[in-house]
Structure 1
Amino acid sequence: MTLCLPDSVFQGGRAGVAGISAYGERALRIGDEITRAGFDVQTVRLSSPALDEPVHREQLHTRAADLTAACRRAGVGSASLTALRPAALARLQPCDVADVLADHPSLFLSVVVADGAEVDHCAAAFSGAVIRELAGRDRDANFRFAAIANLGPNAPLFPGSYSDGGDAGVSVALQSAGALLAHARAAKPGDLAEATRLTERCLRAQLDALQEVLVPSCERQGLLFHGADPSPACAPDAGIAEFLETVGGIGFGSPGTVATCAAVTAGIRSMGRPTVGYAGLMLPVLEDRVLARAWQEGRIDADSVLAYSSVCGAGLDTIPLPGSTPEHEVVAMITDMAALSARWRKPLSARLMLAPAGSDPRRTEFRAPQVVNIDYPTA
């Protein structure tokens, strides 16, 4: 669950810290109500407004320190510092952004590389340099950074989340991959049309039940309900790829994968309710054991995952890159994602897990608990 903060709380120094903390406490009370109603709340997070005016390094550090202090004061675990629009980058260096994320391990951040039908190549190059800088500071820091394209405000999923700066409100996403898999095993859909209907039924039932509790809880706390992102988020022990293999009768990466992704995405997007975020199928390679194995075995790569993004909402999420990967290739992957997003005006992102230079060229060595480490495919 993500609380999207108003811009006003970032205008007042110490008073701003107190204001952010007070909002965080309200969000935690909502989380407690949802938990008492029988739902498992994995995280409560805060999300700050995007920045679209030039910002100095010192301003970014001050904002990060205030947000970190407010989270600590409220007992909130993590927050999105901002989404930096291209105009905000004019007075920043990539190392400034890397420094902030390295100094504040509870914060996430993104850079907007496409908004509409145009790719901002300078923002893409900036993002690639940030990824390189982060890999040199902390091997896990790129888990908290993304280049985003055509992603609207108030999305609940990190790292691309940012608020619209208006009245504070709550948005949610579901870790529903496990529930989808259980339904698929029980129902045994006979074709992709049935897979679409199964996806819709399962997600609709979960969201209906959650919103019955969440909407009145938000009202009691004086907060808006921005909506839900129906994208089925993975849990460490329940990924989405096994569900796709079950309903599609495929090995992930084999012929039929695109059709299966399209069928499931059709079910996700048939909710007929206010949605925020990606509202599509997510394929986080290193957060899903089946996807990680497919990558390790060479059945999928960045190009194929991007091809699947043409029919779903994946983008390039937790893509493992050896430390020897040239920066220009990192930038090219970001611009490919942004070009696809710009062409179809769909929300996509790139979260590229670049290993530090000189790290093991045979195997990933990330420490984040959500990440599945793999052997790099051999040429």
Structure 2
Amino acid sequence: MTMIISPNFGVKLLVPTASSKLSHNSPLVNYALNGLERCWLPEHRRWSHIFHLDGRPSPNESVPNSDVFYTLNVLLGMSRVAGIPSGLDLPEIFSRNASLLTRLPVRKYAFGMALWSAAELGLETPERVKRELTAILADESRWKSFRAQDIGMLLTGVVAQARAGENEWWRYAGPLFRFLKERFHSESGLFFDAPFGFRRRFSSFATQTYLSIACYQYGEFAGDASALVMADTCVRNLIALQGPQGEWPWFFDAMSGRVLDFYEVYSVHQYGMAPALLEWAERFGQRGSRDALVKGFNWVLGQNQLDRAMLVPELSLTLRSQVRKGELTTKAPRVLRAVKNAWLGKGERLIDGTDVEVRLECRSYELGWILWSFGQRTDLPELTNNCAFGGA
């Protein structure tokens, strides 16, 4: 294999051969690993919040609390990768960043990601992180402030720890699932974004993904059929709402089960988070899940409204999203549109492609989801070995 020494990771892949550790990975996985090298912040030993793709001289933007969460997400993905780049000490990176959870203003879901990634990597969660999280989980009155991503990640992390033999966490799994079932599950089959209040009905694709994965994880490990039914029902509804070119809608009315706004269409949903969820759906025999995965992934390869691949091959990075023109820097129109559509009982469709533009950035966690979703898959060579990633 031809290699160059990099000041970041240590080794940068150029041409993989059978003699290299990285040759055990698919071209897609190596693409993501190479992209992550661009996002690496060596002075902090973590991956960045944003890598800007607009040509600025210093493209990496660091936001410490976001960096740390994204780094834990990347480490989760690394747990499924056969060949890790030289120079990456995963236990050290995990310990350094997980320890910061008690010092930075992070959301509760970051603690869930720490539990999940630690379990998958076979690492010990820092003691002060355990203490703070135990206090949160032991006081159910604090759960009222949880958003969907909080409870989804926490339940997934608790189950992952129990599966790894850390039984101290299992006592929280049942109560967390019951709270999820009582306060986040809608009769429409989708999930609410919050346990209380007007805002709860306005839920995102991320809401559906994190809570469905949590239900699959809990249902399988606990033998709870109701959790599996909830996850399967949500996936079935999502597949029915998928766009004509594989777009996963961003915003839903969880009360009615309608799409309120397709935009932004995020690349990470297409190649990372939806495949992570649909892997579970495939395992439990959900009809159409594999086709939906492939169709969604092909959106990234150029089968989309702009007829544009959402890749930056020279940097091994991805373009974050396709967004309505004029909405790159404001959410106000999207919020008003969603409220109006919910009030009028209207669903939303895709708009004309001439009114869509691209968000020129890549976030490290997005590449982490590629590693998690495809690090161990060998059954989709049309995706993992696609020529877009250097495959045959």
Question: TM-score, normalization: structure 1?
Answer: 0.30
Higher-helix-fraction structure: 2
